[in-house]
Every structure is written in structure tokens, then in C-alpha cells.
Amino acid sequence: MSVGNDVLATRISVKRRTSRWDDYPVSVADAMDFWAFAAGAANVIMQLARPGVGYGVVQSPVDSGNLLKHPWKRARTTFSYLAVAILGSPDDRKAFRAAVDVAHRQVRSGPSSPVAYNAFDRDLQLWVAACLFVGLEDTYQLLRGEMSTEQAEQFYQSAATLGTTLQVTQDQWPATRVEFDSYWDAACRQVAIDDVVGAYLHDLVALKMVNPLLRVPFRPLLRFLTAGFLAPVFRDALGVGWGPARQVLFERLFLLVSFGNRFLPVFLRQGGSYLLLADVRRRARAGRPLI
């Protein structure tokens, strides 16, 4: 399903709390609380809603990176990338880029593909990085409260490594938060999910790749969280329902979660990301594959 030329709702609608934990300077590293990963499936949908990315993933010959076949390995790779891009050193990013490049060299469209794609396409990589940024900003404000204009700019400027860790250049990353909004709204007009990519994404949300003993109890929650983290443009493209009652429930859930989250020490809220970063460094020292 494609998106028309009418005005798009390209961000989730949440009644932001006006109070924050603090008014200190912020960075995207502050968004690495483990609750942020509740938006993971929604972010995959956002990324694959761009046809070049969607077909690149669905038709990828890199079997080890197939989310539906190797969900835990793929999840580890994605979360490790976030940890390296946001918390890592330049050397960490260089090593991870080299590892990802090996896989990306194999991902390019063939003569029979209905969509042209290349995993080294910087425009597609910018789209993926932009999706990651939007997901982190949304979850950060749900957990910590609305940022001021100055804080929003600080947060955005610190997030460029989400793209520049791979092939996105610094001058390709929109220069300001306002310019990013313009880029995002324009890029969302290219959202289109056909039956092929849609089937892949519906299998993801249905947890088809997970043992039924885990699938049954967690599937309703995943579907709810995934729909809640999708802006209308993505829900419409995928054919996912939503409504005012669910929106209120979604907001109240995160109001409760955010209250509890503020009392957790940083090493509990963000410890998982630092463990993943440490694992990447151990693998690099031992000469083991990073992805």
C-alpha cells in the first residue's frame, strides 16, 4: 500500500508531560534506556517501509542476518550497532563499519527484483538512520518528558553517528533539527509497503520466528507496542488499526513506565547497551566476527 499526496502524520501523537527529570544538556546517549527497545519492531517496520530497504532485507542473500530465521542474532547485531554508533569510540565504529560492509556488499537488486536497491546507497542508509533517530527521540520523550527547543537541538546534533558510522556523510545529515523535520516529512512520502514486504512484516509482528511457548503470551503486547510506536503514515501503509482508546492506554502505560524508570540507576537502565559494546570490543580483539 502506498501513501498519497495528502498531508501526512509522520510522527506519533503523544500528549507530552511538561515536567522533566532535569533541565540539563542532553544527548542521544541518554536515550539508551532499555525501555527504548520496546519500539524495536516498530522501527524495523519504519525502515522497511521504504521499498529499497524493504526489498533489500526480504531478498537479502545474507541468511545469517535474516530476522525471521535468526531473530536473536539479528537483534544482537542491531542493538550492538546502536551501542557502537552512540556509545562507542571512533575505533569501535570503524571496526563495526568494516564488518557491516562485508554483508552489505552482497545486498543489491538483481534483474528480477521489482525494486532497485543497493545496501551501500547513502540515501537508503540516511533513511534507516533517520528512523533510528525518530524512534530514540520518541521513546526518550515518553520516558523523560518533552525537550526544550535547545535540548532537542542538542539531542539531534549528537545523533549523526547513527548514519555516519556507515556511509552517510556528515554533510548529508540534515544540519539542524528543523531541517531534519523537512527531510523526514518529504522522505515519508516515499513510504510504500506491498504484499511481499507486508507479509514479512506481519510475520515479524506475529512472532512467527519465535517458539510458540514464547509467542502466545508476548504477541498481544508486541502488537500493541508496535502499533503505538508507528506514526499514522506507517500504520496506514501496513494496514494496522489504532484508535483513541488505544492511544490513551499507550500514553498511560508509558506514564507509569516513566515514573518507575526515573528511580532506576543508570547502570540498570543502560547496562545492556554497555554490555553489548563490551562484547563487540572482545570480539574485535579476538578476531571474531562482529555480526
Please provide the DSSP assignment of 161-177 as one string: HHHHTTT--TTTS-SSH
Give residue 51's pLDDT. Answer: 97
Region 283-290: mean pLDDT is 94
The amino acid sitting at 135 is G
List, in sequence order, the alpha helices (H) in 149-211: 149-157, 161-164, 177-187, 195-205
Instruction: Report how far residue 85's alpha carbon sits from residue 83's, in angstroms, rounded to the nearest whole number.
Output: 6
pTM listed for this prediction: 0.93
What would the pLDDT profile of 212-246 be if each residue is shown by its tens digit?
777 777 889 999 999 999 999 999 999 999 999 99
Task: Give the count of beta carbons closer than 10 Å to the beta carbon of residue 146.
Answer: 16
Q: What is residue 54's three-state secondary structure?
A: helix
Residue 1 DSSP symbol: -
Instruction: Report how far residue 166's alpha carbon sits from residue 164's, in angstroms, rounded to the nearest whole number.
Output: 5
Give residue 202's pLDDT. Answer: 94
Q: At what angle do helices 40-48 and 212-228 cross, to 10 degrees?
A: 70
Give residue 177's pLDDT. Answer: 96
Scored b (16 or more CB within 10 A) or e, 26-58 reads: bebebbbbebbbbbbbbbbbbbbbbbbbbbbbb
What would the pLDDT profile of 13-67 be if each residue is shown by its tens digit?
866 555 666 778 899 999 999 888 899 999 999 999 999 999 999 998 887 767 8
Quickly state the pLDDT bin for 3 (edges 50, 70, 90).
Answer: very low
In degrees and rounded to multiples of 5, residue 65 shows phi and psi of: -100, 10
How many residues are listed for the chain in this entry? 291
Give residue 6's pLDDT. Answer: 43
Task: Give the count of beta carbons closer than 10 Å to the beta carbon of residue 141.
Answer: 21
Sign of CA dihedral 229, 162, 284, 87: negative
In this predicted structure, the answer to whether residue 72 has a pLDDT above a threshold of 80 is: yes
- Cβ atoms of residues 170 and 82 within 8 Å: no
> Both ends of the chain: CA-CA distance in Å?
32
In degrees and rounded to multiples of 5, residue 2 shows phi and psi of: -100, 170
Q: What grid cell was written down for 224? A: 500493541
What would the pLDDT profile of 156-190 be if each residue is shown by its tens digit?
999 999 999 999 999 999 999 999 999 999 999 99
Closest listed residue to residue 54, CA positions, set 260, 232, 247, 202: 202
- For cell 499507550, the residue is 250
- Cβ atoms of residues 39 and 80 within 8 Å: no
Share of the chain above pLDDT 90, in %: 74
